Amino acid sequence: MAVLNKIRQRSLILILVIALALFSFVIGDLFKNSDALTGGSQDVVATVNGTDIGRLEFQQKVKGYQDRVGGRVTSTQAMNTIYNQELRRIILNSETEALGLSVEKDEMRDLLKTSFSSYPEFQDQNGNFDVNRLNAFIANLKDLNGEAAPLSNFMVTYDSWTNNEQNIAASAIQQSYYNMIKAGVSATIAEAKDEYLGDAKTVDVKYVQIPYTTIADSLVPVSKSEIKSYMESHKDKFEVDANREVVYVEFKEEASKADEDKIKADLLALKSDRPEYNESSKNTDTISGFDTTSDVEEFINTYSDIKYNDAYLRANQLPAVAKDTLLKLNVGDYYGPYKDGEFFKLSKVVAAKQMPDSVKVRHILIPYVGGTRADATVTKTPAEAEKTADSILTAIKGGTKFMDLLELSSDKVSNEKDGEIEFDYNAGMAPEFKAFSFENEVGDVEVVGTSFGYHVIEILEQNSFNKAIKVATLADKIEPSQETLDEVFNKMSKFEIAAKDGDFSELAKERDLTVKPITFNELDETIPGLGSQREVVRWAFDEDTDEGDYKNFSISGFGFIVAKLVEKNEEGLMSVEDASITALPEIRKEKKAKMIREKITTTSVDDIAKNNGQSPRTAAAVTIKNTTLSGAGVEPKVVGAAFGLKEGATSKPIDGEKGVYVVEVTKVNEATELENYAPVMNRLNSERRNTVQTKVYQALEKAADIEDNRAKTVY
């Protein structure tokens, strides 16, 4: 009781302690997630020029895009596409709204007419666009209260229609905006003249090149401070987004040699009969093997990972690794087990025959509603179409000429050729049509059903006979056993444990593992060879992940990787070490140029060449638009300097791409003036206006105030 009394006396203190603990837990989480304190919304994907892209609406658009394109893009690719679309929409809307651009009602009707005039739903009896039908369709959509109505091959709701109208209007406004800018973009006569002279005027030069390679790199020291200074003066070359440098090793879940040997042994075991105890009859039954089975198709479909193919196969249809051997086998002979891709296979030839490589047939096609390429005039159900085809076959077998019934066929193309079609085995025909044509004999006539309808087919010719075989193949997918999977997991786990205190690279070397480096930006998703791995990227950018941390990741269909975060690089200038790869050669080039210039004491090209152990060179018909200097390569500064000289003049030393140059202009070849520069001016106008949209948007995007939260909200 004394203890209980003490607890009651101190209950207030206990409550306060618990409350403080809970408060510190919540506050700690708030500081960890600073958005909760600062008011930054996790529901905002991005803010562009003060306009938010909401997460819910963004994700709905992403889902809609994924539905439209099917499985052809990853979720990250879909998000990036919608983000770029929203970015463009907001940036351009802010510009067009500032200019007061809009689409009026009459103009909107014209836009809709342009967009939908080809739709039968909006055409009158003469095939002309009927605005009343359009208005009726929109009114009907509105009355459906969210339900969808068919339009061409789509299902449309009122909301989706209005969204589409808004997109059409926005596109029209944006085009008006670009057209206004294009109207102000033009070339002058002077620019046209310069453009013409850039190709037509030439100079002949004599020059000397003193290569930078004449000075050894070891004689040109470069300090870290010089690299840093160079980076500051060339920021555009060295600015980088935030990235993470990661190394990883792979632990593949793949079948071992022992696994493969067991798979092959299991395939061979299926050849023989085997006893099996029957619980129902209390007797031991004999289960037929591949050697003795009376139903090959059922046997293959029961024991194989690939279903039975009851078709005669030509050489090019057989597995490349086995076709030569299989074609030489007799009926009943086996080949295998052999490895074909991700399977081990045991094949048995069950039939062989000579089959044609090309055929000529004629047919009558009776389509049905819903069949492939069935047009609006088709009214028969599949059962009715089959009944019609059967009656045509009966008439033909009863003596009616095939040709007399061609008018019943819907295949108007073949009808013009007496219903005849010639094709080889590799042609893209309906499988059922092809099978009948090649596997039966000349003169046979039958009804064959395909996705197009029911065909009455008569085989007229078969040509180029070659051996074809029917093969029954037991296929067993090559997969690791549970023992192998356990071993891979154990190896990965032991490596991860050892990495806690050991050197990652040394541990990998000891285990014959290859350390693979990769650098991620925050919105990246793929690892070469492993596909989309956003989980690894998220981990690398998590604020709780420090340099030197490592973690294992399960990779679907592959196994595991153990990744280690090597370096965090924040947005801004890259490190001096990374920048030195490109900065060091440029700094050395500048220093060498200064050293070479200081050694030049004469002004004659010949004397400079002689004093520096070089030979003077010449280049004829040099143009200002082609900056390639014969014998030296691309040298824009040198060519530009030559066009600034008069005939007979010699330049001062020029710091080029590959060395220091001195140029003498030996001849100026003036161009013949044109009487009319309008064609050149028109070409320049066209070229410049064609680039307006891209360049204007790039400039607007660069100037926009964009806060990108994708990595924190939806990625």
Q: Give residue-wise pLDDT tens across range 35-52.
A: 444 444 578 999 999 999
What average pLDDT score do residues 314-343 get?
Answer: 94
Q: Answer yes or no: do 498 and 355 share one domain.
A: no
Q: Residues 170-194: pLDDT tens digits?
A: 999 999 999 999 999 999 999 999 9
* 365 in any annotated domain: yes
Q: Who wins on pLDDT, 9 or 639?
A: 639
What average pLDDT score do residues 522-533 get?
Answer: 88
Interatomic CA distance for residues 161 and 53, integer angstroms: 22
Give the pLDDT band of residue 293 (cuts 50, 70, 90). very high
Q: Residues 436-458: pLDDT tens digits?
A: 999 899 999 999 999 999 999 99
* 47 in any annotated domain: no
99 SS3 class? coil
* 72 in any annotated domain: no
Which of 28-32, 241-245, 367-371, 405-409 is least confident?
28-32
Q: Answer yes or no: do 488 and 459 share one domain.
A: no
Interatomic CA distance for residues 47 and 704, integer angstroms: 10
Q: Answer yes or no: do 149 and 124 share one domain.
A: yes
In this predicted structure, the answer to whether residue 13 has a pLDDT above a threshold of 60 is no
Stated pTM of the model? 0.65
Asked which of 570, 599, 628 is the last residue of a domain, the reply is: 570
In this predicted structure, the answer to whether residue 6 has a pLDDT above a threshold of 60 is no
**678 closest CA partner among 53, 187, 312:** 187
Residue that is written with structure tokens 């926005």 in the block: 170
* 689 in any annotated domain: no
- Percentage with pLDDT > 70 across the chain: 94
Give the pLDDT band of residue 29 (cuts 50, 70, 90). very low
User: Cβ neighbours of residue 105 under 8 Å, at least 6 residues apart?
Assistant: none
Which of 26-30, 144-148, 461-465 is least confident?
26-30
Asked which of 460, 477, 494 is the last residue of a domain, the reply is: 477
Q: Answer yes or no: do 247 and 363 share one domain.
A: no
Q: Answer yes or no: do 318 and 454 share one domain.
A: yes
Interatomic CA distance for residues 603 and 614, integer angstroms: 15
In this predicted structure, the answer to whether residue 706 has a pLDDT above a threshold of 90 is yes
Q: Answer yes or no: do 507 and 460 share one domain.
A: no
Give the pLDDT band of residue 321 (cuts 50, 70, 90). very high
Q: Answer yes or no: do 582 and 509 share one domain.
A: no
Contact of 359 with 465, CB cutoff 8 Å: no
Q: What is the CATH number of the domain that holds 420?
A: 3.10.50.40
Count of residues for the chain?
A: 715
The boundaries of the domain holding residue 8 are: 2-38
In this predicted structure, the answer to whether residue 30 has a pLDDT above a threshold of 80 is no
The pLDDT value given to residue 160: 84
What average pLDDT score do residues 98-123 get?
Answer: 89
Q: Who wins on pLDDT, 284 or 13?
A: 284
Q: Residues 481-503: pLDDT tens digits?
A: 999 999 999 999 999 999 998 99
What average pLDDT score do residues 329-338 get?
Answer: 96
* 93 in any annotated domain: no
Interatomic CA distance for residues 598 and 592, integer angstroms: 10
Contact of 516 with 247, CB cutoff 8 Å: yes
**For the chain, how many structural domains are there in total?**
5
* 237 in any annotated domain: no
* 222 in any annotated domain: no
In this predicted structure, the answer to whether residue 14 has a pLDDT above a threshold of 70 is no
Q: Residues 357-393: pLDDT tens digits?
A: 999 999 999 999 888 888 878 889 999 999 999 999 9
The pLDDT value given to residue 26: 42
Q: Answer yes or no: do 303 and 446 share one domain.
A: yes
Q: What is the CATH number of the domain that holds 487?
A: 3.10.50
Q: How far is CA 177 from CA 94, 98, 171, 493, 685, in A?
A: 11, 11, 10, 60, 18
Q: Answer yes or no: do 536 and 401 share one domain.
A: no
Q: Answer yes or no: do 469 and 399 share one domain.
A: yes
Q: Answer yes or no: do 465 and 426 share one domain.
A: yes
Which of 29-43, 295-309, 528-542: highest mean pLDDT? 295-309
Interatomic CA distance for residues 663 and 649, integer angstroms: 8
Q: Answer yes or no: do 449 and 338 share one domain.
A: yes
Q: Who wins on pLDDT, 589 or 114?
A: 589
Give the pLDDT band of residue 238 (cuts 50, 70, 90). very high
What average pLDDT score do residues 238-261 get?
Answer: 95
DSSP-assigned states of every residue in 352-408 = EEEEEEEEEEEEEEE--TTSTT--TT----HHHHHHHHHHHHHHHHTT--GGGGGGG
The pLDDT value given to residue 41: 55
The pLDDT value given to residue 37: 43
